[in-house]
Structure 1
Amino acid sequence: MNPLFTPFDLKSLTIPNRIWMAAMCQYSAEPDGAAAGVPTDWHFSHLAARAAGGTGLIITEAAAVSPEGRISPYDLGIWNDEQVAAFRRITAFLKSQGTVPGIQLAHAGRKASTERTWVDRGRPIPPDEPHGWTPVGPSAVAFDETSTVPEELTTDGIREIVQQFADAAVRARAAGFQIAEIHGAHGYLIHQFLSPQSNRRTDEYGGSFEGRIRFALEVVDAVRAVWPEELPVFFRVSATDWLSENPEDGRTGWTADDTVRLARELLAHGVDLMDISTGGIVPDAKITSGPGYQVPFADRVRNETGMPVAAVGLITEPAQADKVVASGSADAVLLGRELLRNPYWARHAADQLGGSVGLPVQYHRA
């Protein structure tokens, strides 16, 4: 069978193919009140279409573990029971189509309190404006010159957020999700602790590599402790900040070598797969882009550590995706914008490559 369409076994799950959907913010929840962070009909239809299209695993957009953890006031959340109830409708439908439902647990840290991307280009919302608040971070270092300077987290504050991740994982399981992905990429809070560009702490959560990964490992341990042993935990990482690799940029950032070291630690702490992305810690990093430009980072992690990985980044063509899996660079591909353009990408890929994906019974013809 064509590698892209072979099932993938992970813990007790069998994911029907290697075509997966990456988490993508929709900025479509209510910003406040009882409906804040609650999935809407938009979220249902958006995710349901990709399941009907044959996608093997769908990871929902970042679901904040607390109201302050949203990157925008319009993000989804998983901090209360109203959100759990609404998510159940979504997870039930995804499963009915043979798709595995996953949720991305997130805290935006210093990047929090911003507008939707189509409103003023996602500008920061100051704490004195409606729907704005003061973000937090590992250090009092703003994302850019227009952003609010975050409050530096105390040790107690760090422990509170670790517990929020655990509580969110419990709710995610109650909502019917089968995979929990911890968001440690794209300049969100965990990534802020990992990168020396944003983490200037001198206590046990900063300084050395071991200090900067402490928060990430504590979150993983807390989630793994409450998440069923038979179900997988994923970790999304930015493999590089695109700073240290750039000879024209004198700043120090998180590197691909750091990611390989982290992968070994995450394996030891019960992470089952890493979702390998890049960038996000500063707005002006010079990114080396092109088709499949992030695949080499996934390849390194998989083949140097044995950690299962999923690759992302300008993967658009079926033959390209198939080559990523067939070559052993990754165990699966995570599609983002391409699935926005074409919810039925998996079906079209199967037609081109001679594979097969599930078809809703309503679409069968005698």
Structure 2
Amino acid sequence: MTATPAESASRAADVLSRPVALNGLTVPNRIAMAPMTRAFSPGGIPGADVASYYARRAAAGVGLIVTEGTYVGHESAGQSDAIPRFHGEQQLAGWAKVAEEVHAAGGTIVPQLWHIGMVREQGQPPFADAPAVGPSGLRIGATEPTGKAMTQRDVDDVIGAFAEAAAAAERIGFDGVELHGAHGYLIDQFLWEGTNRRTDAYGGSAVARTKFAAEIAAAVRETVSPEFPVIFRFSQWKQEAYRARLAETPEELEAILAPLAAAGVDAFHASTRRYWLPEFDGSDLNLAGWTKKLTGKPVITVGSVGLDGDFIKGFTGEGSPLRGIEDLLDRLESEEYDMVAVGRALLQDPQWAAKVLAGRFDELKPFDAAALQTLS
């Protein structure tokens, strides 16, 4: 039986408004803002406009802000001088102001710590002389190296950069950190056999390919307070290979996730392109659902939540329940996952969470790519 709009509104307010614990952090509700690169930070410094951008969404009811990816302190980490960095006096001062304003607005916030690895091309800013580095010097889809295969010293330097960034995050007032291990960037390049051809301890089996990620998680865990949440974002798909998969079976997925959980990851952020699709044959569980089942850790799901007309019609009882609010709430109530991250819908409308929590579904609109052009 399809719920009426009034019933959906009441249920959405109830289920999404419930607080959730991520280690020592209590998030006030189940809505997270997904990390989305904006490139509005000249010199890698987030300014007052960036702070206001995040604070507006916190004030409108987003429980947990996961910032756009921000480069750790390694010269090969990035490819733009307009994307924020999480190292340097001015950069960290800017981020401290972001955290302060989000807290003042009633939200919680974690920075996403990022190294792009072989996605970088030689000569790109912010450090033009830095080489592109990766587990085997391979870009996705390449058969021959176009960059530098990381030495043990390179590996140690990057691990140290993540740990230093996490320590800085706690020092300047953030509520936790997220490690970007998804979408074909450096950590994911180690996890995926397509880009990891190493024959040392960091390559080979699925478990061996987790060694780099697990060492980063362990170093971060050791550097921050025991109650400080460490979130790990991962995906099967890559930016340049949508059909790529880290794991073909639940058993293979468990082999990857278990070492990360053991290393100190408190929660996972399972990135899919469409959250409603099952991950493996024989089960309706999505990637987040399988992650929760296999690790027992809190999990954030993400993937086209609130983007299209079909989903919005589902809020009002007019569309397919597959993408509608009832399906989303069913999964949350059954504890398939613990939080729902919203991406581009929040770019277009800072009030998205407030509208959903208040049942103002008629005010929601399908995503318009023009929203990407401004920091509103």
TM over 0.5: yes
Tell me the residue number matched to 1:83. Answer: 91
2:65 equivalent to 1:58: yes
Deviation at 1:166, TM superposition (A): 0.8
> Any conservation in 2 of the 1:239–1:255 contact (CA below 8 Å)?
no
Tell me the residue number matched to 1:174. Answer: 171
1 CA distance for matches of 2:275 and 2:138? 33
1:121-270 alignment to 2 at 5 Å? 126-127=122-123, 132=128, 133-143=130-140, 149-240=146-237, 253-255=246-248, 257=250, 258-270=252-264
Tell me the residue number matched to 2:300. Answer: 310
Deviation at 1:79, TM superposition (A): 1.7
Tell me the residue number matched to 2:20. Answer: 8
Q: Give SS of 1:84's match.
A: helix
2:118 equivalent to 1:110: yes
Q: Judging changes above 3 Å, is the alpha-carbon distance between structure 1 residues 127 and 173 closer, same or farther for their aligned structure 2 residues?
A: same
Q: Judging changes above 3 Å, is the alpha-carbon distance between structure 1 residues 164 and 129 closer, same or farther for their aligned structure 2 residues?
A: closer
Q: Judging changes above 3 Å, is the alpha-carbon distance between structure 1 residues 260 and 242 closer, same or farther for their aligned structure 2 residues?
A: farther
Tell me the residue number matched to 1:101. Answer: 109
Q: Give SS of 2:183's match.
A: coil
1:292 aligned to which of 272, 276, 286: 276
Deviation at 1:245, TM superposition (A): 11
| Identical columns (%) | 33
> Any conservation in 1 of the 2:178–2:233 contact (CA below 8 Å)?
yes
Unaligned runs of 5+ residues in structure 2 are 1-12, 280-284, 316-324, 362-376
> Any conservation in 1 of the 2:236–2:247 contact (CA below 8 Å)?
yes
Instruction: Describe the superposition over 1:71-91 as per-residue Cα deviations: whole angstroms up to 9, x where unpaired.
Output: 433211112222111111110
Letter in 2 for 1:261: A
2:336 equivalent to 1:324: no
Tell me the residue number matched to 2:36. Answer: 24
Tell me the residue number matched to 1:284. Answer: none
Deviation at 1:131, TM superposition (A): 6.5
Tell me the residue number matched to 2:78. Answer: 70
Tell me the residue number matched to 2:55. Answer: 48
1 CA distance for matches of 2:119 and 2:139? 8
> Any conservation in 1 of the 2:52–2:101 contact (CA below 8 Å)?
no
2 CA distance for matches of 1:327 and 1:90? 34
2 CA distance for matches of 1:142 and 1:244? 11
Instruction: Describe the superposition over 1:241-293 as per-residue Cα deviations: whole angstroms up to 9, x where unpaired.
Output: 699996xxxx8755463333222222222211000014xxxxxxxxxx65633
Deviation at 1:99, TM superposition (A): 0.5
> Any conservation in 1 of the 2:76–2:127 contact (CA below 8 Å)?
no
The count of corresponding residues between Structure 1 and Structure 2 is 323
Deviation at 1:310, TM superposition (A): 0.4
> Any conservation in 1 of the 2:202–2:211 contact (CA below 8 Å)?
yes
2 CA distance for matches of 1:291 and 1:206? 30
1 CA distance for matches of 2:171 and 2:158? 20
1:342 aligned to which of 346, 349, 368: 349
Instruction: Describe the superposition over 1:162-203 as per-residue Cα deviations: whole angstroms up to 9, x where unpaired.
Output: 111111111111221111111110111000000000001111
> Any conservation in 1 of the 2:246–2:253 contact (CA below 8 Å)?
no
Deviation at 1:134, TM superposition (A): 2.8
Deviation at 1:69, TM superposition (A): 0.6
Unaligned runs of 5+ residues in structure 1 are 31-35, 114-125, 279-288, 355-366
1 CA distance for matches of 2:207 and 2:347? 38
2:100 equivalent to 1:92: yes
Deviation at 1:353, TM superposition (A): 8.4
Q: Give SS of 2:359's match.
A: helix
Q: Judging changes above 3 Å, is the alpha-carbon distance between structure 1 residues 193 and 255 closer, same or farther for their aligned structure 2 residues?
A: farther
Instruction: Describe the superposition over 1:196-215 as per-residue Cα deviations: whole angstroms up to 9, x where unpaired.
Output: 00001111111112221110
